[in-house]
Structure 1
Amino acid sequence: MLCEKAVDAIKKRLPDILKLRNEKRKKEDDSYVSEGDLLVQTLILAECRDILPDHTIISEELAPFTNENWRENGSYIIIDPIDGTENFVSGLKEWGVGISVYTNGKHEESCIYLPELDEKLITGGSYIKYDSRICGLSSSLSKSDLLNLPAGFEYRIIGCSMYNMLNAIKGSYLRFDNVKGVNCWDILPGLNLALEHNIPAYIDGEKYSGQILFPVKKYKISIGVGCE
């Protein structure tokens, strides 16, 4: 499986990846890309070429995409080399890698891997289930958004979608919401792993059913208890 091979490749090179934390630059949207992002992408792409050479790659670090002929029945590998780059370049451990594979329009496998926390969940895998009252929130919320949050919950804001979605799936979060919208590579691994483990998952207010998402817009998501 591609995901297992990619995780193994990243794990072997983790010391080299971490050495690249301070080698960064800003992109047009004012977010960072680091040499660590690019090394992780190189490692994953090498596995893609070896295992699924005929699949089209959709990756955050290959964006922006223009005039692409996206096909719902096509074969794609969607990659987020480092989700939470701001955390990564700041020396925080809450960053992750996401991969989803679709073949002829059908989901084949997904993974979320948190290298420094040594946590992963891959299609077909299992995990320890928790019962939390914590609600995870996206880091894109404004001050006014935060002041208007409903009372009665514990809240956490960690700027890493992979980390947040994995915790919502495990029950370490009661739920996770991103109400501002994110790209397809930020969410497809978590959505598909939630679906596999019967965790409620919604996209733009509609129940997620495993369909591929393309980099044509930003999507709002909710995963966990109370999303229905």
Structure 2
Amino acid sequence: MSICSLIVNEINLFLPEILSKRNTRILKEDDSYVTEGDILCEKIVKDFIREKFPDYFLVSEESPEENVINSKKDKVIILDPIDGTENFTSGLKEWGVAICVYENGVHNESMLALPELNCYLKTGDIFEKFESRICGISSSLTKEDILKLEPGFEYRIIGCAVYNMYNVVTGSFFSFENPKGAKVWDIIPGLNLALENGLSVTVNNTQYHGELLEPNQKYIFKIQNR
């Protein structure tokens, strides 16, 4: 079984406890929430990696002090323990876990997991592909940004990159983009799964080829079905 699958299985074992902590909100400096559920989920993965994969180093949203150093290691696991925390803490099921594994700077495997929706997509999966005219956009857009969107498309704002990435890779969205920028743990699993499945992927307006991205900056991106 893949590293990503083993990590998600471990998270699912503790899912009832994680869900029980969705109302324990803490407001961060950037005005976003973190919950005890986020922190518990990261701890579960950290403990699991230390026990089962001690030669791997973790880059994670909730451990900023370790990320730059760990991203330089030969074996790296990139994690967003709960993506879409605003959804998670509001009782919505559209939140996810993003996991990506790199070895020697080369992508090895990725997974997008939506535990409450029981939807999972990982490297190597074969799935039914849909055709859609729906475009997913980031919830970071302002009202003024939304009014400038290109006409002729259906647009959706869900507030969870994992959910949006899952849908664009499977074809339920025609495209998904964030013109304001997101951190590596939000996007790199979805970017690589999109590449694997033949989608067009740009990062910072340049074609993306699967390279490991630095954890200390944001990246604008667009994924589109051809």
TM-score by length of 1: 0.93
In 2, distance between residues paired with 1:187 and 1:124?
18
Deviations 1:121-179 (A, max 9, x none): 11111222111110000001111111111211100001111111110000000000100
Any idea what SS the aligned residue of 1:116 has?
helix
For residues 112-131 of structure 1, what are the structure 2 equivalents within 5 Å?
Answer: 112-131=112-131
Counterpart position of 2:186 = 186
Any idea what SS the aligned residue of 2:117 has?
coil
In 2, distance between residues paired with 1:8 and 1:58?
19
Name stretches of at least 5 consecutive residues in structure 2 with no aligned partner.
Answer: none
Counterpart position of 2:40 = 39
2:131 corresponds to 1:146 = no
Counterpart position of 1:8 = 9
For residues 149-164 of structure 1, what are the structure 2 equivalents within 5 Å?
Answer: 149-164=149-164
Residues 71 and 215 of structure 2 are in contact (CA less than 8 Å); yes or no, is this contact kept in structure 1? no
In 1, distance between residues paired with 2:219 and 2:200?
16
Counterpart position of 1:176 = 176
Q: What is the CA-CA distance between 1:21 and the residue it aligns to?
A: 0.9
In 2, distance between residues paired with 1:69 and 1:15?
30
Residues 2 and 48 of structure 1 are in contact (CA less than 8 Å); yes or no, is this contact kept in structure 2? no
Residues 181 and 221 of structure 1 are in contact (CA less than 8 Å); yes or no, is this contact kept in structure 2? yes
Counterpart position of 1:58 = 59
Q: What is the CA-CA distance between 1:66 and the residue it aligns to?
A: 7.9
Shifted more, 29-38 versus 43-52: the winner is: 43-52
Letter in 2 for 1:150: E
For residues 73-222 of structure 1, what are the structure 2 equivalents within 5 Å?
Answer: 74-222=74-222
Letter in 2 for 1:36: G
Any idea what SS the aligned residue of 2:98 has?
strand
Task: Decide whether aligned partners of structure 1 residues 69 and 84 sit closer, same or farther in structure 2, where only a CA change above 3 A counts.
Answer: closer
Letter in 1 for 2:163: Y
Task: Decide whether aligned partners of structure 1 residues 101 and 67 sit closer, same or farther in structure 2, where only a CA change above 3 A counts.
Answer: closer
Residues 70 and 214 of structure 1 are in contact (CA less than 8 Å); yes or no, is this contact kept in structure 2? yes
In 1, distance between residues paired with 2:51 and 2:96?
23
Residues 58 and 70 of structure 2 are in contact (CA less than 8 Å); yes or no, is this contact kept in structure 1? no
Deviations 1:69-95 (A, max 9, x none): 853x73211110000000000011110
Q: What is the CA-CA distance between 1:49 and the residue it aligns to?
A: 1.6
Task: Decide whether aligned partners of structure 1 residues 81 and 67 sit closer, same or farther in structure 2, where only a CA change above 3 A counts.
Answer: closer
Shifted more, 132-141 versus 145-154: the winner is: 145-154
Any idea what SS the aligned residue of 2:135 has?
strand
Residues matched between the structures, number = 225
TM-score by length of 2: 0.94
Q: What is the CA-CA distance between 1:67 and the residue it aligns to?
A: 6.8
In 2, distance between residues paired with 1:23 and 1:148?
36
Q: What is the CA-CA distance between 1:68 and the residue it aligns to?
A: 3.8
In 2, distance between residues paired with 1:65 and 1:20?
25
Any idea what SS the aligned residue of 1:220 has?
strand
Residues 59 and 70 of structure 2 are in contact (CA less than 8 Å); yes or no, is this contact kept in structure 1? no
RMSD, aligned α-carbons: 1.6
Any idea what SS the aligned residue of 2:22 has?
coil
Any idea what SS the aligned residue of 1:209 has?
coil
